Amino acid sequence: MATDRSVQSNVEQKRAAGEHAAGYVSDGMVVGLGTGSTVAWSIRAIGKKVSEGLDILGITTSYQAEALAIECRVPLTSLAEHPIPDLAIDGADQIDRDLKAIKGGGAAHTREKVVASSAKRFVIVADAGKSVDRLNAPVPVEVLPFAFRLAERRIIELGGCPTLRQARMKDGPVITDNGNFVIDADFGPIADPSGLSESLNAIPGVVEHGIFLKVDELVVAQDGAVNVITARGDD
Ligand code: A5P
């Protein structure tokens, strides 16, 4: 169990990484704003820069991000109006050395993937605890409620263990911002993230899963320093 001190240092790492990436934002940009506690620091820092005259537009990935951006007075737009954001910033649940990530701990991965895939540059911000040699967290799979039993069966056939995510402060399953269910699919260590991504995409009724294969840059904070790791660009 984490001590108070480690919890505090984890929060400081998230803040350092999130605020570092806010420095990438400059006048005239359209910026994808991710979901979660790490990128929240980016959104707050961007809001501060806006109050000092920065001229940008944000595109949010969830109701949570939208509420925070509005609170921080970040002007918002949509993908319909600005289909190719200059930059997208987001957190992750795990990220490996090849900059392949698992996202969706907050059930926002579908919109996050749409925004990240639309953007010219996708940056993940993270505390050091998110870095792993091999992805092994359960993969969040957003699925149409009509199809969840089929999806569970197919996940088992792929060697996974599916758990329908349950809500807190509401009886029954989590309902995403898109009105769907989330299955957390535990495959243990994932040897082939690309292959698993393809297999999950092929399940009828699956809207989107949380394996992210294309991350351009990781901003990770550890021991009071911020490290920036850039994708090798060989895939
Ligand atoms: C939202 O569904 C997730 O993809 C988040 O981006 C991810 O869980 C990171 O969250 P934290 O920054 O709160 O760890």
173 vs 181: CA distance, rounded Å:
7
Query: Best substitution site from 10, 11, 89, 93 to test ligand 1's pocket, by max atoms within 8 Å of Cβ?
Result: 93
pLDDT digit of tens for each residue in the chain (235 aa)? Answer: 444 445 547 999 999 999 999 999 999 999 999 999 999 999 999 999 999 999 999 999 999 999 999 999 999 999 999 999 999 999 999 999 999 999 999 999 999 999 999 999 999 999 999 999 999 999 999 999 999 999 999 999 999 999 999 999 999 999 999 999 999 999 999 999 999 999 999 999 999 999 999 999 999 998 889 999 999 764 4
162 bridge partner residues: 185
Ligand 1 atom closest to 106 (CA): 2
The predicted pLDDT at position 233 comes to: 61
The predicted pLDDT at position 50 comes to: 98
Q: What is the pTM of this model?
A: 0.95
227 bridge partner residues: 220
Q: Exposed, middle or buried: residue 121 (CB in 10 Å: 0-12, 13-18, 19+)?
A: middle
Our answer on whether the CB atom of 64 is closer than 6 Å to any ligand 1 atom is no
**Protein residue whose Cα sits closest to atom 6 of ligand 1:** 91
DSSP letter for 115, please: H
Ramachandran bin of 66, using left for φ above 0, alpha for ψ from -120 to 50, beta for the remaining angles:
alpha
208 bridge partner residues: 142
Our answer on whether the CB atom of 32 is closer than 6 Å to any ligand 1 atom is no
228 bridge partner residues: 219
User: CA-based Rg of the chain, rounded to a whole angstrom?
Assistant: 17
The secondary element (H helix, E strand) that includes residue 30 is strand 30-33
Question: In the chain, count of helices (H) and strands (E)?
Answer: 6, 13
The predicted pLDDT at position 61 comes to: 98
Residue with tokens 């001229």: 55
The CA distances from residue 111 to 89, 97, 209, in Å, are 13, 24, 11
Our answer on whether the CB atom of 142 is closer than 6 Å to any ligand 1 atom is no
Residue with tokens 């969706």: 104
30-33 vs 87-90, strand pairing mode: parallel
